[in-house]
A and B are shown apart, each in its own frame.
Chain A
Amino acid sequence: MTTPDEYITSVGKAFEKFEASLNGSKSTFLHELRKESLAAVLKSGLPGPKHEEYRYTNFGKALEKNIAYEGIVAETAAASSSTPLDSFEGYKLHFVNGKLDVSRSDLGALSDKVTITSLASAVKEQGDLNEYLGSIVKSWPDAFSHLNTAFAKEGVFIRVKKNTVLDKPLYIIHSNDTSATEVLAHYRNLAIVEEGAQLKVIEANFSTGANTSYTNTVLEVFCKRNASVEWSKLQLENETALRIDNSLVYQERDSKCTINTITLSGQMVRNNLYIALDDENTEAHMYGLYLIDGKTHVDNHTSVDHRKPNSFSNELYKGIMDDQSHGVFNGKIFVRQDAQKTNAFQQNNNILLSPNAVINTKPQLEIWADDVKCSHGCTTGQLDNEQLFYLRARGISEDKARAMLLHAFAGDVIANISVEPVREYLEQLITDKIEN
């Protein structure tokens, strides 16, 4: 067993190898950013159990136990299995074990007002990339984001130009197959949605195989004036998957952004969602569902930063935990002194189906303005016996009644996904899971 110190040293060595493999791109701003980020994480180390933000989710330890950073930064090829989403109508980018599988990807006839390309091409072709890449991470740093910046080679760059609506949703699908060996992947996604433009993305993650799959992903979204973004994450990996997701959003005036985070499985999943509302009349929606069993551990940390007046944020996270699964929710709302007339709502509801399931939930409101409307609430409980009895008293079996109630509970979150086939697909997955 490696110690945290030895482990972080091995990360440093892995970076040297990785760096050596990046012929020719050393002079870019990105290279400097990588080095800075690595230095930061080497200095801080990975957050341990004493780190306040990682108290309940010792992701560093899970890595130390399961993934040797040294040596396997390179991707392993494997046969790609198709996912139900491959047949949905929309643009598609399908990554297999960290590499884009062109045969499964389809960008159709994209308008010249929309750019969807790989991170590597964006580095070469997008002259203003340095203004964006890493800039939101700076206001909300995290050791794993740094690790991502240091190592990420693959990822998706999206730019939707002024007043353009992406006509169909974009599916970013990741399938990891760890039957031969561990898979380690860093993805760096970046979306720039210009003034008045609109974008819908569904990011879905699948994994198979008995070895560990480790994904470290960072997303930065820039919602310019009056832009509108809906980004849904479907985390559907198997019980050997470790996933750390840092999603960061920066919103300009009159923009609207919805982030849906649905986690139905995995070994350990940590989502850090950060939304900066940097001007007036911005609107942010955060919806989350974790419906887990077995030993799955899911941690959602969210932060919304109200910096200017008259903005609105709304957050609803719901959890259903069975067996020995463990849910964590931490929701921060910052309302700066300037952000008068802020409306911020937060709700976290949990149902524990087993005496061994655990939830740790914590709302955190920090309000410096004095004329705001903020509310938060969290509940944890079992299924309501009165509701169960009512359904049974009409002839509905106990199992069916429980399923109906759980489905209704989860449905509140799923209802916010506007892409219908995705919503229906999730509803089916949830039904199967509840009635299994």
Chain B
Amino acid sequence: MLKIKNLKASVEGKMILNGINLEVKPGEVHAIMGPNGSGKSTLASVLAGREDYQIEGGEVEYIGKDLLDLSPEERAREGVFLAFQYPVEIPGVSTTNFLKAALNQVREHHGKPALDAVSFLKLMKEKMALVEIDQALLSRSLNEGFSGGEKKRNEIFQMAMLEPKLAILDETDSGLDIDALRIVANGVNKLKTRDNATILITHYQRLLDYIVPDFVHVLHKGRIIKSGDKSLALQLEEKGYDWIKEEADTVSA
């Protein structure tokens, strides 16, 4: 589904990604972990198409297409979903209206007719239950005045509505209490199918107690320096990142 080959990217002249290689197949859950500043969020942003980043080399193939060649909206319409680390507040645009516009543009892209008001509402109700989000919240301005947990739940709600092929969750667990984390993780687990894939970007092993990854990758200085299964996350929890960093630095030296 997703093949990242030797991806390099910079921001404001500073190299952040120094050659990422990663393959994600349908049905898989990949966790990307790493210390602050290792490039985790940059990777998520580059995959979603944020224009502040300069691609310096490498390629990304997504369902047979050159992902880097697509605009952010084209990527979204093709099924890439980024759950934002910091969802922005947009005063004056209600979540409902925004999602209706988004969903219908995605549908239009796939040659499907726009959803009428009744079907849209029905779909919304169904997905709302999944993330235990309140209708009142959705008629308010997008994320405006939402608590941290509400914003993250709203991200997963949008994911449920848009049914992406590839979901990238950028530190969706950061700042959540256990209850909110459980709700968010539950939502993600229920949305998992054999045909879609998830990339979890996280700082904390805690999330992986709720969403079990097939692969865990450690990012350091813009490279994946170690990959393994979920036991790697447990090792990291116990020993921290230093031992892997040392290992990696020894190899590259």
Spell out A's residues near B (CB within 8 Å).
384-387, 389-398, 400-401, 404-405, 407-409, 411-412
Complex Cα distance, B107 from A394, in Å, reads: 12
Asked if B158 and A394 make an inter-chain contact with CB atoms under 8 angstroms apart, the answer reads yes
Asked if B87 and A390 make an inter-chain contact with CB atoms under 8 angstroms apart, the answer reads yes
- B93 beta carbon closer than 8 Å to chain A: yes
Residue in contact with A393 in the complex, picked from B82, B101, B141, CB distance below 8 Å = B82
Tell me the B70-128 residues at the A interface (CB within 8 Å).
71-73, 75-77, 82, 84, 87-88, 90-93, 98-99, 101-103, 105-106, 109
Asked if A389 and B162 make an inter-chain contact with CB atoms under 8 angstroms apart, the answer reads no
A385 contacts across to B, CB distance below 8 A:
51
Closest CB of chain A to B177's CB: distance in Å?
25
Q: Which 3 A-B pairs have the closest CB atoms?
A: A408-B92, A395-B76, A394-B102
Asked if B162 and A398 make an inter-chain contact with CB atoms under 8 angstroms apart, the answer reads no
Asked if B88 and A392 make an inter-chain contact with CB atoms under 8 angstroms apart, the answer reads no
Complex Cα distance, B98 from A116, in Å, reads: 44
Residue in contact with B98 in the complex, picked from A386, A394, A398, CB distance below 8 Å = A394
Complex Cα distance, B87 from A385, in Å, reads: 13
Residue in contact with B90 in the complex, picked from A392, A395, A400, A408, CB distance below 8 Å = A408
Query: Which residue of A is nearest B141, CB measured?
Result: A408
Query: Which residue of A is nearest B79, CB measured?
Result: A395
Asked if B72 and A408 make an inter-chain contact with CB atoms under 8 angstroms apart, the answer reads no
Asked if B105 and A400 make an inter-chain contact with CB atoms under 8 angstroms apart, the answer reads yes
Query: Which residue of A is nearest B106, CB measured?
Result: A395
Complex Cα distance, B105 from A400, in Å, reads: 10
Interface of A is mostly: helix
Asked if A395 and B98 make an inter-chain contact with CB atoms under 8 angstroms apart, the answer reads no
A390 contacts across to B, CB distance below 8 A:
84, 87-88, 90
A sample of 29 inter-chain contacts (CB < 8 A) reads A386-B88, A390-B84, A390-B88, A391-B90, A392-B71, A392-B73, A393-B48, A393-B49, A393-B73, A393-B82, A393-B84, A394-B98, A394-B99, A394-B102, A394-B158, A395-B76, A395-B77, A395-B102, A395-B103, A395-B106, A397-B73, A398-B73, A400-B101, A404-B93, A404-B98, A404-B101, A405-B90, A411-B92, A412-B91
Q: How many residues of B contact A (CB 8 A)?
A: 29
Complex Cα distance, B84 from A108, in Å, reads: 57
Chain B window 144-166, contacts with chain A (Cβ cutoff 8 Å), 1 for yes, 0 for no: 00000000000000100010000
Closest CB of chain B to A139's CB: distance in Å?
37
Complex Cα distance, B89 from A428, in Å, reads: 25
- B50 beta carbon closer than 8 Å to chain A: yes
Query: Which residue of A is nearest B107, CB measured?
Result: A395
Tell me the B43-86 residues at the A interface (CB within 8 Å).
48-51, 71-73, 75-77, 82, 84
Query: Which residue of B is nearest A410, CB measured?
Result: B92
Closest CB of chain A to B188's CB: distance in Å?
17
Closest CB of chain A to B53's CB: distance in Å?
11
Asked if B76 and A393 make an inter-chain contact with CB atoms under 8 angstroms apart, the answer reads yes
Asked if B92 and A409 make an inter-chain contact with CB atoms under 8 angstroms apart, the answer reads yes
- When A390-B84, A397-B73 are in contact, do A408 and B93 touch as well, CB less than 8 Å? yes
Query: Which residue of A is nearest B77, CB measured?
Result: A395
- When A404-B93, A408-B90, A408-B93 are in contact, do A389 and B51 touch as well, CB less than 8 Å? yes
B73 contacts across to A, CB distance below 8 A:
392-393, 395-398, 401
Query: Which residue of B is nearest A395, CB measured?
Result: B76
B103 contacts across to A, CB distance below 8 A:
395
Query: Which residue of B is nearest A403, CB measured?
Result: B101
B51 contacts across to A, CB distance below 8 A:
385, 389
Complex Cα distance, B73 from A398, in Å, reads: 8
Given A385-B51, A408-B92, list of 13 further CB < 8 A pairs? A391-B102, A393-B82, A394-B162, A395-B73, A395-B77, A395-B102, A397-B105, A400-B105, A404-B93, A404-B98, A405-B90, A409-B92, A412-B92
